[in-house]
Amino acid sequence: EENMTVTEDFSRVENTYQMEAEVCIIFSDFGKMQNVCNLLIEKLGTSVTISPPHFYHTPEAVDTLRRQVCVAAVGNTRRKAQEVCRLFGQSLGKPLLIREEETKEWGGHIDSHLSNSPDSLTLQERIQNATAYASCRVFAVFEIKGKENRRNKLL
């Protein structure tokens, strides 16, 4: 309910009362949004009008994306370093240094230079324009252990 606002307007038209309600809901799950819209249309028919969704990313969601991308970059770096060590008959040790070199973000909004107005875009185009992307480049230094060290530890 904290993500929903309802505005109601009562008016009298001749001998009847008319009520119009506007319900604005913030969804974090696209599937739930579609299910609610379908249910409203099914139950209320032509008496309901559903406006196209407005997509946006909360600052928390963007921050989570940045962290996930950085963690994935570190994981990829570690896996690559392990493969290189295996190639040379070595084993990878603990990280000595991990540094985030560069982070890039793009997308996440409807481009203002589009000739079409945002309302004229298809739902798929709106989703594509609202999708946020991020990349991260990391620098990592790992300890390299020789085969002899591993054998001595086993004995």
49 pLDDT more than 80: yes
Same domain flag for 40 and 65: no
Instruction: Name the residue range of residue 123's domain.
Output: 59-145
Same domain flag for 71 and 96: yes
Q: What is the pLDDT of residues 60-87, one digit of tens each?
A: 989 999 999 999 999 999 999 999 999 9
Same domain flag for 39 and 90: no
Same domain flag for 15 and 86: no
Own/partner contacts of 130-134, CB < 8 Å, gap of 24 or more, are: 130/55, 130/56, 130/57, 131/107, 132/57, 132/62, 132/65, 132/105, 132/106, 132/107, 132/108, 133/105, 133/106, 133/107, 133/108, 134/65, 134/66, 134/69, 134/103, 134/104, 134/105, 134/106
- Please check whether residue 100 lies inside any domain of the structure: yes
- Please check whether residue 75 lies inside any domain of the structure: yes
- Please check whether residue 154 lies inside any domain of the structure: no
Same domain flag for 63 and 119: yes
- Please check whether residue 150 lies inside any domain of the structure: no
Q: What is the pLDDT of residues 108-151, one digit of tens each?
A: 654 444 445 656 788 888 888 889 999 999 999 999 997 755 45
Same domain flag for 21 and 63: no
